[in-house]
Amino acid sequence: MLQIENLTKTYTSGNRSLTVLKNVSFSVEDSSTVAIVGPSGSGKSTLLGLCAGLDQPTSGKVVLEGINLSVLSEDERADVRNRNIGFVFQNFQLLPTLTAIENVMVPAELRGERGVYDRAFSLLEKTGLADRIHHYPSQLSGGEQQRVALARAFINKPKILFADEPTGNLDDDTSSGITDLLFNLNRDSGTTLILVTHDLELAGLTERILRLRSGEVISDTVNAPSVYNNGEKGYPA
Amino acid sequence: MKPLDMFIWSLKMSGRELRSNYSKLLLFVSSIIFGVAALVSITSFGDNLNKAIYDQSKSLLGADITLQAREPFNDELLALTDSLGGEQAEEVRFGSMVFLPKTGDSRLSQIRAMRGNFPFYGSIDVVPADALNRYQNENMALVDESLQLQYNVQPGDSIRIGTRDYLIGGIVRGVPGETAAQGVIGPRVFIPLETVLGSALLQRGSQVTYLTHIMNPDLNTEGNFRDKLRPVLERNRARIETVESRRASLGRSFRNLTGFLNLVGFIALLLGGVGVASSIHVYIKQSKKSISVLRCLGAKLPAILFLYTCLSLIMGLTGAVLGILLGGALQTLIPAVVQDFIPVDVSTVLSLRAVAYGLVVGLIVTLLFVWLPLAGIRDISPLAAIRSSYEPATGGKTNLLRLFVVVLLVAFILAFARMQTGDWIQSLFFTGTIGLILALLSLMAVLIVFLIRKYFPNGWSYVWRQGLANLFRPNNQTRMLIMTIGFGTFLLAVLYLSQRVLLDEIRIFGTSGQANTVLFDVQSDQAGPVADLIREEGLPLIEVAPVVTMRIESINGRTYQSLRQDTTGRSSRWALQREYRATYRDTLNASETITAGAWEGIYRNDGSPVPVSFETGIAENLNVSVGDTIVFDLQGVTVETLVASLREVDWQNPTPNFFLVFPNGVLEPAPQFMVILTRTDSRETSARFQQQIVQNFPNISIIDLDMVLATADSILSKVTFVVQFMALFSVFTGIIVLIGAVITSRFQRMKESILLKTLGASRQKVTRIMAIEYTLLGFLAAITGTALSVATTWLLALYFFEAPFRPDLLPLLLLVFIVIGLTVGIGMFSSRSFYSQPALDIIRSEEV
């Protein structure tokens, strides 16, 4: 599904350069769940950005579904993202001028699909927002906004879902609901999940945990048995 | 995504954006409303004017053909007029003093001595109407309304022209084909031709034009009709005007007028364009997050660019439609504004061409200006969705795209100006000046912000520091406001200052010691008695200059006819054909400087060509230089001359100045008249002196320079009013852009104000911070615009008006205060709800 080879990212500002990722390599299997954890500034978000084709590495390569993202233009990568990737952000990142259902429809509309209303409605129904579909983001609570974001992430039936601190802006109760929803939707659609978080409890729900520090992978552990692998809901002890 | 899908998606998304932001976007749109309104109203007026000129072209001339010459028609010309048949009317037109016994005043007027039923088409507007049919039979006069307004003369009063008294039969309110302004320059007085024939008013040397008007609808005056008559006319130095030629020349003049007014209106549209660009820039900045999310979700760059272009086009279309509606209403006012300068009745139907024109130009301006900020979308990375601090550098491709848009914009402005003026040089000057002024204003804004940051007064009070800091904070509107408000101020100040330069120039005549009264057409035998009268009245005899009229016979052996027919020749036709009024003397006067050759003041009478001196401008028009020989026809006698010198003449110097000066010893015996200069110090003295002259020497014309000044003042005021009317569009645009800018930066300012309020700042403190910011913005814009206007007017005065420039500071200061007041007023009014807004709403607002 995803292969990362010797990925390095250096930011240059004036005469100063800062390497935030150093020779990172790993691969992710189809339908698996992976958490990338590490303290602030360890390079988690940068790695996610590169994996999702949001940015270009300084060296190394990212191969997603057999496509080398490192050699594609921004617009070609946008196409790959639209066809293969779903996103869930910490700040929800809903478009403020669009209603909940319109936000969900956007990725499908970008593919040129028409008549996606029913699909979007069904996803919002699954997330428990059937009665809020015409509300604008500013009229929804944080938890509701993240539910809309989850519905949006799954509208195109992505092969891989990147979630960047999906519960980072939510209180504990709401977090729990969102986590349930995220893993359930992921399991139902057989999507590969890559989760960036510094919440070890959340990371513990995935099959594998990659630990980053100062831009390097310091550990890559299998987190078995996953409570979600056998279709049961629950948290590891 | 296929192009059609992209189009549909962009339209759908545009609709969604508009739905949520329509009030914010409406203000962006408003920026172009006044510019489009100006273009539509002027274009529609121009179309209606053209149609009126076409429809009323016969009454513009009053006849099918008019022949005119400076001398009574000779046998050949009489034979020509006979051959043209139809009904004919004769007219002799000349300048003369009109004495008003009722008030004791005299006024130099345009006398139209008429015989026949002219005008054949259209009618002179006279009150009472029947006076037009009676005045020739009853030897009455019809006088211009301006004479009535100035001296309160009424039908039944009498006037004196030369030695003859006329009863005023009616008041002339309008003459077909002539403008009201023409009557202000010289009041028109219609009298029967029989009453002046053979009188002293038409003696040799007087400026008289003889005209024959012909009505013959059977004549085909189109095509090469005029060409066929040209040899006879040129031989006799006569001119012909037909309905077609009058229509063409009027069409040209008014194309220039509407072209000029359209350019002034176009400036408003360009200012609006700057406002649109700035608003879109801020809008894109505020939408950056959404754009990065869209890119994250897989939107390609063309799709996003297309989305915002669609949005801008919808806004542009709305603005253009509103502008067209406003323009349609305003175009009904334009004929009233310019009524003194148009000779026809213009309808006020909105022309379809104007509607299409406003729509297309409005959309092009919107599109070109929005593409400047839209190019920046290239640099918004999808990464910004997960890293809020991510700020990539502007890419080279973005800068190239912006450069391309700027080139397109300049090309469009140039093409538009060329369309209006028909002249590339003027268009380049227009485009260059606008570009330079906007660039200087922009540079000044950058410099001011830089200086404020560098020398920030940390010791000043908190309120002042906040107000100053607002000028360079993120989402500030400093540059855009200084550009738009500054440009509006610049336009108004340049108009005002230019008008002052022209009026001051004329006022020089009135300064102490300078001549303010000029006596023309003084015959040789009248010079002595007139000089005696001047002395008796206790007035100074400032100058007596003899004038001899002559025409060019040949230049360097080539006859006048062959030079005129030579289409490759570089001599101007008018310079060849004109009657020259030369003087003779042995010295140069104070206003003359020799620039080539040598001045010769005395002719040795040795049979050699007479050494003459030409003014440099006319020498250029004639394409002659030192050493060339010119033969003049002095009323039947030929004189061979040699161009001995060229002179630069200061035409502003109030002495009689001449194109051509002969040395003493040649022209003394020639038929001549004198120009005499004197000075009267009061209105009473002037009136008494003029009365004496008119009564004793009725053929003499007097130019009262105080009257000239008053007339120029009146005409310039009318011209200025028309131009200021158009400049108002720029001012209104400036106000809209200002309101737009305040609203655009509203969320930023609102959040700051609410945070300050939350932290304990009083309402008064928050208000004072905003007041300081807008005062500074208004002040900087007004001062910069005014300073640039002073510099520009100085350059105009130096190179264009060739006049001294002394800016009057008081009105400029007043303008600066008005601009500051407007800026603060609008700024504070638009921000009035900031303090009363609930803090929580703002702090939680996602749009900040």
Interchain contact B2–A (C-beta under 8 A) = yes
For range B482-487, the mean pLDDT: 84
Mean pLDDT for the stretch of residues B338-362:
87
Please judge whether A109 and B387 are an interchain contact, meaning their C-beta atoms are less than 8 angstroms apart: no
Q: Which residues lie closer than 8 Å to B796 by C-beta, 6 or more apart?
A: B494, B498, B501
Nearest Cα of chain A lies from the Cα of B10 at a distance, in angstroms, of 10
| Candidate from B8-22, B654-668, B734-748 with smallest mean pLDDT | B734-748
Q: Which residues pair with B192 in a beta bridge?
A: B114
Asked whether residue B49 falls in the same domain as residue B71, the answer is: no
CB < 8 Å from B in window 104-143 of A: 106-107, 109-112, 136-138
Q: What is the pLDDT of residues B617-670, one digit of tens each?
A: 899 888 899 999 999 998 788 999 999 999 998 776 667 889 999 999 999 888
B281 and B160, same domain (yes or no): no
Distance CA B799, CA A169 (A): 68
Identify whether B598 is part of a domain. yes
B261 and B409 part of one domain: yes
Contact list in B for residue A106 (CB cut-off 8 A) is 294, 297
Inside any domain, residue B779: no
Say if residue B518's pLDDT is above 50.
Answer: yes
Q: Tell me: do B14 and B77 sit in the same domain.
A: no
Domains of chain A: 2-222 (3.40.50.300)
Q: Give the residue from B639, B643, B619 showing the smallest Cα distance to B631.
A: B639
- The answer to the question of residue B609 being in a domain is yes
Q: How far is A226 from chain B (nearest CA, A)?
A: 28
Q: Give every strand in the sheet of A2-13, ordered side by side.
A: A16-28, A2-13, A59-64, A67-68
Percentage of residues in chain B having pLDDT higher than 90: 22
Q: Does A82 touch chain B (CB under 8 A)?
A: yes
Length of chain A: 237
Verify that B122 and B155 share a domain, yes or no: yes
Do the Cβ atoms of B213 and B120 come closer than 8 Å? yes
Is the model's pLDDT at B848 over the cut of 50? Answer: no
Asked if B846 lies within 8 A of A137 by C-beta distance, the reply is: yes
Residue type, B818: I
HSE at residue A19, side-chain half, CA atoms within 13 A, is 12
Cβ distance of B846 and A74 shorter than 8 Å: no
Q: Does the beta carbon of A220 lie under 8 angstroms from any beta carbon of chain B?
A: no
Domain shared by B71 and B50, yes or no: no
- Residue given tokens 């009863």 in the structure block: B167
- pLDDT tens-place string over residues A219-235: 998 876 444 444 444 43
Last residue of one domain, picked from the residues B678, B704, B729: B678
Please, which pLDDT band fits residue A144 given cuts at 50, 70 and 90? very high
Q: Across the interface, which of A97, A152, A164 has its CB nearest the CB of B20?
A: A97
Give dist(CA B749, CA A122) in Å, integer.
41
- Which pLDDT belongs to residue A230? 42
- The CA distance from B191 to B189, in Å, is 6
Domain boundary among the residues B617, B645, B678 is at B678
- pLDDT at position B511 is 53
Half-sphere exposure in the Cβ direction for A35 (13 Å, CA):
24
Q: What is the DSSP letter of A71?
A: G
| Among B298, B381, B846, beta carbon nearest to A79 | B298
Question: Do B321 and B188 share a domain, yes or no?
Answer: no
State how far the Cα of B273 lies from the Cα of B33, in Å rounded to an integer. Answer: 10
Instruction: Give the residue from chain A lying closest to B391, CA to CA.
Output: A13
Range of the domain at B415: 1-62+241-426
Residue B452 exposed, middle or buried by CB count within 10 Å (0-12, 13-18, 19+): middle
In this prediction, what percent of chain B has a pLDDT beyond 70? 92
- Cβ within 8 Å, pair B300-A96: no
Interface touch B385/A138, C-beta < 8 Å: no
Tokens coding B619: 């020498």
β-pair type (B660-662, B610-615): antiparallel
Instruction: Mark whether B210 and B88 lie in a shared domain.
Output: yes
B818 is a domain residue:
no
Query: Looking at the domain assignment, is residue B270 inside a domain?
Result: yes
User: Which secondary structure element, helix H or strand E, spans residue B368, and what is its range?
Assistant: helix B352-374
pLDDT tier at A236, thresholds 50, 70, 90: very low
* Same-domain check for residues B281 and B349: yes
Residues of A in contact with B299 (CB under 8 A): 78, 82, 110
Q: Which chain A residue is nearest to residue B22, measuring alpha carbons?
A: A97
Indicate the range of B170-174, B225-229, B499-503 predicted with least confidence: B499-503
Does B394 have pLDDT greater than 80? no
DSSP letter string, B694-749: HHH-TT-EEEEHHHHHHHHHHHHHHHHHHHHHHHHHHHHHHHHHHHHHHHHTHHHH
| Other CB atoms within 10 A of residue B263 CB | 20
Distance separating alpha carbons of residues B774 and B782, to the nearest angstrom: 12
Report the distance separating Cα B274 and Cα B269, nearest Å: 9
For residues B685-694, give the mean pLDDT.
84
**Which pLDDT score, from 0 to 100, does residue B733 have?**
80
B439 burial type by CB count under 10 A (0-12 exposed, 13-18 middle, 19+ buried): exposed
Task: Using an 8 Å CB-CB cutoff, list chain B residues near A120.
Answer: none
| Residue B394 belongs to some domain of the structure | yes
Query: Are residues A110 and B383, on separate chains, in Cβ contact within 8 Å?
Result: no
Lowest mean pLDDT among A125-134, B260-269, B507-516, B732-741: B507-516
Which one of B9, B295, B847 has the shortest CB-CB distance to A109?
B9
Q: Is the pLDDT of residue B274 over 90?
A: no
Residue B156 DSSP code: T
Q: What percent of chain A has pLDDT over 90?
A: 43
Residues A26-37 have a mean pLDDT of: 91
pLDDT of residue B140: 94
Instruction: Of A112, A114, A141, give the one whose Cα is nearest residue A128.
Output: A141
- Whether B296 and chain A come into contact, CB under 8 Å, resolves to yes
Instruction: Please answer yes or no on whether B19 and A137 come within 8 Å at the CB atom.
Output: no
* CB spacing of B16 vs A112 below 8 angstroms: no
Q: What is the pLDDT of residue A234?
A: 41
Query: For B595-611, what is each residue's pLDDT tens digit?
Result: 999 999 999 888 899 99
Say which amino acid occupies B735.
I
- The pLDDT of residue B846 is 44
pLDDT band per the 50, 70, 90 thresholds, residue B389? low
Q: Is pLDDT larger for residue B230 or for residue A122?
A: A122
Task: Please tell me the distance from the alpha carbon of residue B337 to that of residue B340, in angstroms, as a whole number.
Answer: 8
B371 CA to chain A: closest CA distance, Å?
20
Average pLDDT over residues B224-248: 83
Pick from B231-240, B259-268, B393-402, B767-776: least confident: B393-402
In a domain, B514, yes or no: no
Give A52's contacts in chain B (Cβ within 8 Å): 296
Partner residue facing B298 (CB), from A49, A91, A110: A110
Q: Choose the closest CB to A74 out of B16, B301, B387.
A: B301
Helices (H), B578-703: 616-622, 683-696
Which of B678, B696, B726 delimits the end of a domain? B678
Region class of A176: left (phi > 0), else alpha (psi between -120 and 50), else beta: alpha
ipTM: 0.86
Q: Backbone phi, then psi, for A59, in 5-degree steps?
A: -150, 170
Residue pLDDT, tens place only, A178-219? 898 889 888 888 899 999 988 888 888 999 999 999 999 999
Say if CB B188 and CB B110 are below 8 A apart. yes
pLDDT of residue B742: 66
Q: How confident is the prediction for chain B on average, in pLDDT?
A: 84
Q: Assess contact for B699 and B650: CB atoms under 8 A.
A: no
Residues B151, B72, single domain; the answer is: yes
Number of C-beta neighbours around residue A176 at 10 A:
13
Would the CB atoms of B17 and A102 count as touching at under 8 Å? no
State which H helix or E strand residue B771 sits in: helix B763-795
- Write down the pLDDT at residue A229: 44
Contacts of A88 (CB under 8 A, 6+ apart): A146, A149, A150, A153, A161, A162, A163, A164, A166, A182
Radius of gyration of chain A (CA): 18
pLDDT digits over B65-74, tens only? 999 998 889 9
CA B259, CA B417: separation in Å to the nearest integer?
A: 8
CA–CA distance, B97 with B704 (Å, rounded to integer): 11
Cα B129 to Cα A125, B146, B173, B174, B282, distances in angstroms: 87, 18, 11, 12, 65
Q: How many CB pairs under 8 A join A and B?
A: 93
- Indicate yes or no: CB of B296 within 8 angstroms of CB of A96: no
Q: Angle at which helices B809-830 and B478-507 pack, to 10 degrees?
A: 150
pLDDT at B443: 92
Query: Once rounded to an integer, what is the mean pLDDT over residues A16-45?
Result: 89
Closest partner residue to A49 (CB to CB) among B293, B294, B383 is: B383
For residue B296, the chain A residues in CB contact (below 8 A) are 52, 54, 81, 87, 93
Interstrand relation of B65-69 and B238-242 (parallel, antiparallel or unpaired): antiparallel
- B259 and B145 share a domain? no
Neighboring chain A residues of B382 at a CB cutoff of 8 Å: 54, 74, 78, 81
Adjacency order of strands within the sheet including A160-164: A85-88, A160-164, A192-197, A33-37, A208-213, A216-222
For residue B739, being part of any structural domain is answered with no
Q: How many independent structural domains does chain B possess?
A: 3
Whether residue A13 lies within 8 A of chain B, CB to CB, comes out as no
B105 and B131 housed in the same domain: yes
